[in-house]
Chain A
Amino acid sequence: MAPEIGHYALILALLLSVTQAGVPLVGARLRDPALMSFAGHAAFAQFAFVALAFACLTYAFVTSDFSVEVVAANSHTAKPLLYKISGVWGNHEGSMLLWVLILSVFGAAVALAGSNLPDTLRANVLAVHGMVGLGFLAFIVFTSNPFARLHPPLQDGNGLNPILQDPGLAIHPPFLYLGYVGFSMAFSFSVAALIEGKVDVCWARWVRPWVLAAWCFLTIGIALGSAWAYYTLGWGGWWFWDPVENASFMPWLAGTALLHSALVVERRNALVSWTILLGILTFSLSLIGTFLVRSGVLTSVHSFAQDPARGVFILGLLVLTTGGALTLYAFRMPGLRYGAPFAPVSRESGLTLNNMLLGAAAATVFLGTFYPLIVDLIGNDKISVGPAYYNLTFVPIMVPLLLVMAVGPALKWKRDDIREVLRRLRKPVVVSALAVILVLALTLGRDLIAAAFMGVAVWLIAGALAVLARRLRLGSVALAASVRLARATPGAFYGMVIAHAGMGLTVAGITGMTAWATEKIQMMRPGETLHLSGFDVHFKSVGNVTGPNYQAEQAVFDVAGKGRAATRLFSERRFYPVRDQQTTSAGIGTNLISNVYVTIGDPDGKGAWAVRFYYHPFVPWIWLGALTMAFGGFVSLFDRRLRVGVPQRLRVPAAAVAPA
């Protein structure tokens, strides 16, 4: 019964999205309040129907209803409950339903929290959002129905791929989708602005919380994916520039650019056309990512089952949404440009430079991801683009960006003096130089590049703190005065400081992991000890354990050294009988500054096992830094200015009142 209800709810949602796409659009044109308010009601109803459908699918998974095809293909009675639930989105159909659920959540959120938006804008935004939802719901209902039945039902399911039976699956996709789909709201805002024919500082103020929220979620989603890869792959790899990883990274780069260019629109009403374009492109990159993962045009460990038919549908969706939006842009944007002038050295120019570099970085990742496809199409050759390419092209673009990141916030709006700025940043410069020298000294002058990047990391953190100190006039006024200033400082400022410092932490983590990770691989018998980088790894024993749906050989290791107390780590070789698959799980010990990582491998049949031990210095900072960045974003989100009150309107002479 539940699958039928769910299916029916989906069809209703699809029909509803047709009305949501059309009615408010007409209403905004005619300025009819009733038709415009329909948008909010439709968005709420959409959410209700899609949530119902999602609940029905979850119910089918939890009760192991094997008459439903996706449940039979991906679940099993012996699977733990957590993975029964997260298995709902561990397949193509279910994950598309999750996507649409989040889409409807954002629509309802705008309907709920967007009361400060002018009626026409809200109506247009929800209408465009409804169009996007229409496309995806049609995709689901016509090609990827999660409620398709299986006749006759299976006795028991095929089980879930053991790789996916992991807490990571429970949280990584939802956060990722919150990010991807969140940027659809920025898309809707951009297209609505083009439809209305008006982009002003208010628009930038209204769109900012949605961009921020999406950006925070995407940051967390990518960080989770990287951390998941780290402990899953068995040797500590955390980023491979895989096409699907890039598919999540490109929207992040574009979204970061959008976040910053929206600031310029808001403050100075400049970079308007660029910001609208970014609003369109960020979501388009999400769509292209969806296409990559589900169409099978590129080989990747992340791909869902290949189905060119679905690829055609998604491509059609992409052409309609992005193509439509960019065409509208080409025709409407020329009439909408404004621009308050600013000097070559100013906060605006710093943000413009930031955008230029982020745009170039995103374009580089795009080029590297799709180039093998181009070569494959036009010639008889076949190439691969791996990490080495990105290290030589992406990193050189990021370095100036990282350097500018600390300078930007120190710049004044409209006009500043470069010598003044450098004077303000004296302390961070000195501290960074000291850091470089310190690293060089500690590594005996061997790792020049690592020292430089550590210097950049310190530069980012010190620069952020310096701007904060300047704002609070620390040292130049009484402490009480600084505290008063601190209370009066808007949340967005703290958010910026935290986020930029978080980036510094991530850079430090990447540098440490890349430059100073060590490993040792050897055959060991129980009772033997391995030595590496100041650690003693004692291989204690091997035993058999039984899990809920697997059998495993579990090895116990005691790791001591480097002033840490002895740590007991477990590594298992698991066999999942339902899927006939074997996996290895690593034993990881962390003190949040560095990790030790050990895995058990194949036995040689003579009482010894292959043991791999790794030391990963600073690697936790990669994800701690990313989480800090997201936290900074959330702090900005709760800036009172974004929530309370109507933004100030532009002073317009009474003779020409244009309705806001």
Chain B
Amino acid sequence: MQHLLFLAPALVFVAVSTGLGFSLLNDPRKMPSMLIDKPTPPFVLASLEDDGHGFSSEELKGKVALLNIFASWCGGCRVEHPTLMALANNGIPIYGVNWKDRPGDGARWLRANKSPYVRVGEDRNGRLGIDLGVTGVPETFMIDRTGRIRYRHAGPVTDEVWRDTFVPILAGLGARQ
């Protein structure tokens, strides 16, 4: 029994170092979304250019859609732009939220870069962002036919990200509905 007691520190250490080893594979900055499988928070967004073309959360229902949070000052948004354009051309409805930006800047950015969005709205003060648990741009949400959020990706949606993470979920949604 006494001998076992002397082995205890070594055993505890094995557990600790195993934990530390696994933690090396972990990104401490990744935050899970609180909104998975919850309905999209209801909102109405004004349009960027005073042409009455904003959108509301109701419009997201009835189909599988992407909700993309972007800003004109965001570098990652530039990175994911080609992918989003390709998805839009393939018929995936993408709704854009211009987050904490001046609507003029957002509109200018879209004109210069071509808009992949079916609809765009402005979230100047970031309140919708807070309701969605947004911490930065870009972030993309996948919303199912009933308006529930199924997946949230923080960071640019590149072709790999789309292929490896979004497509399987999309397939799952298609099969169920």
Contacts and interface: CB of A to CB of B under 8 A. Distances in A.
Do chains A and B directly touch (beta carbons under 8 Å) in the complex? yes
Interface of A: 273, 277, 280-281, 284, 288, 291, 295-299, 308, 311-312, 315, 318-319, 322-323, 326-327, 329-330, 333-334, 370, 373-374, 376-377, 380-382
Interface of B: 2-3, 6-7, 9-10, 13-14, 16-17, 19-26, 28-29, 31-32
B23 A373 contact: yes
A299 B27 CA distance: 10
A394 B16 CA distance: 21
B24 A382 contact: no
A273 B6 contact: yes
Contacts of A295: 24
Contacts of B7: 330
Contacts of A284: 13
Contact of B6 (A297, A323, A329, A377): A329
B24 A312 contact: yes
Given A296-B28, A381-B32, A330 B21 contact: no
6 tightest A-B CB contacts, nearest first: A326-B10, A297-B23, A330-B7, A330-B6, A311-B24, A373-B23
B24 A376 contact: no
B26 A377 contact: yes
B23 A323 contact: no
Contact of B13 (A298, A322, A334): A322
Contacts of B6: 273, 329-330, 333-334
Contacts of A298: 28
Contacts of B19: 370, 373-374, 377
B78 to A, nearest CB: 20
B28 A376 contact: yes
Nearest to A331: B6
Contacts of B32: 380-382
Contacts of B23: 297, 373, 376-377
A322 B3 CA distance: 19
Instruction: Determine which residue in A273, A319, A326, A380 has the highest number of CB atoms from chain B within 10 A of its CB, and name it.
Output: A326
B13 A297 contact: no
A330 B10 contact: yes
8 contacts: A288-B16, A288-B20, A297-B26, A315-B17, A323-B14, A334-B2, A373-B20, A376-B26
Contacts of A273: 6
A319 B10 contact: no
Nearest to B21: A315
Contacts of B26: 297, 373, 376-377
Nearest to B2: A334
Contacts of A318: 17, 20
B21 A377 contact: no
Given A319-B17, A370-B19, A377-B19, A330 B9 contact: yes
Given A315-B24, A327-B10, A382 B17 contact: no
A326 B28 contact: no
Contacts of B29: 299
Contacts of A334: 2-3, 6
A378 to B, nearest CB: 10
A444 to B, nearest CB: 42
A280 B10 CA distance: 11
A345 to B, nearest CB: 26
Nearest to B10: A326
A297 B24 contact: yes
A329 B20 CA distance: 22
Nearest to A377: B22
A374 B22 CA distance: 10
A296 B17 CA distance: 15
Given A297-B26, A377-B22, A326 B2 contact: no
A318 B21 CA distance: 11
Contacts of A326: 9-10, 13
Nearest to A243: B28
A581 to B, nearest CB: 18
A318 B19 CA distance: 13
Contacts of A277: 9
B9 A281 contact: yes
Nearest to A295: B24
Nearest to B22: A377
Given A323-B13, A334-B6, A373-B20, 10 more contacts: A273-B6, A311-B24, A315-B20, A322-B13, A327-B10, A330-B3, A334-B3, A374-B19, A376-B23, A380-B32
B22 to A, nearest CB: 5
A227 to B, nearest CB: 28
Nearest to A298: B28
A329 B31 CA distance: 41
Nearest to A376: B26
Nearest to B12: A326
A327 B12 CA distance: 11
Contacts of B17: 315, 318-319, 322-323
A332 to B, nearest CB: 9
Instruction: Determine which residue in A296, A327, A330, A370 has the highest number of CB atoms from chain B within 10 A of its CB, and name it.
Output: A330
Nearest to B20: A315
A376 B19 CA distance: 11
B28 A299 contact: yes
B135 to A, nearest CB: 12
Contacts of A308: 24-25
A244 to B, nearest CB: 13
A329 B6 CA distance: 7
A624 B80 CA distance: 55
Nearest to B17: A319
B146 to A, nearest CB: 23
Contacts of A381: 32
Contacts of A299: 28-29
B56 to A, nearest CB: 30
B9 A329 contact: yes
Contacts of A281: 9
A334 B7 CA distance: 10
Contact of B31 (A319, A377, A382): A382
Nearest to A323: B13
Nearest to B4: A330
A288 B21 CA distance: 12
A148 B134 CA distance: 40
A296 B29 CA distance: 10
Contacts of A373: 19-20, 23, 26
A374 B16 CA distance: 10
A437 B147 CA distance: 64
Contacts of B25: 308
